[in-house]
Amino acid sequence: MIPQSIVDFFHANQNVLWLTTLILDLSLTLVMYRVFGRIGLTVAIVLAILLANLQGPKLTEIFGMETSLGVIFYSTIFFATDVLSEKYGRQVAGKAVLMGFGVSVIAVLMMSMSLLYLPSTQPNTAEFSLEIHQAFESILDFTPRFVAGSLLAYLISQSFDVWLFHKIKSYTGGQHLWIRNNLSTMTSQALDTTIYSLVVWWGVVDLTTAIELGLVKYGFKIFIAAFDTPFIYWARSWNVPLTSGKTG
């Protein structure tokens, strides 16, 4: 799908790949909002949750530090939630959080059900079918620890993010969007990272490694929270209809 020259470039420049992915993810979220309005942001949240859960267990190294690939997609959930909070209010943002939680539960359940199906044993496709089945097992065989930790971290941190965003907005009289965007995201991300690290990683790896992974992950999240500030100001400036595909 991706030309080999681009693959080779990004293999040799992983830090550039991370920044490119972050910009692309935030930009596509803005496109979803610009084209589809409030519904587009809700869909972006649900999509980001699915991507983060599927890619969360994959570890990589960015700027010489080991971190989970899901940090990019999961952090932008907070960006979309903050845009919803700013433009449409706490109730709409809270409903999007619950919708994302519901979709996550359904996705985990249905993907787990898919693993109950045995691979085909037909002579012409048996080897291929077994390889695909094993690949699915590696990606979709969620442990109870992962399910509990990821869903718990998401629901608590996202709900807290919406609550704190509006508390700060009320306290500042609706001024200083950058303060509530950054402070609510950084605080709720600290909560999310702590829960995820202790529930999901601790036990898979030792406590020290779990804490190290969490601290690195949180460092990336702080950077993303600051990096997305111009994007949220840009989104706030648009007059976008609630559900129409037409832009205002």
CA distances from 117 to 82, 104, 113, 120, 136 (A): 40, 21, 8, 9, 11
Question: Domain coordinates of the chain in residue numbers?
Answer: 4-236
- Intervals of the chain under pLDDT 70: 56, 141-144, 241-248
CA distances from 213 to 63, 67, 193 (A): 14, 6, 9
For 7-44, how does the pLDDT look when each residue is reduced to its tens digit (9 = 90+)? 999 999 999 999 999 999 999 999 999 999 999 999 99
CA distances from 180 to 79, 128, 155 (A): 11, 51, 19
> Do residues 11 and 2 touch, judged by C-beta distance below 8 A?
no
**DSSP letter assigned to residue 153:** H
Q: Tell me, what's the pLDDT at 248?
A: 39
Greatest alpha-carbon span in the chain: 69
Collect all residues with Cβ–Cβ distance below 8 Å to 69 and sequence separation of at least 6.
55, 56, 58, 59, 60
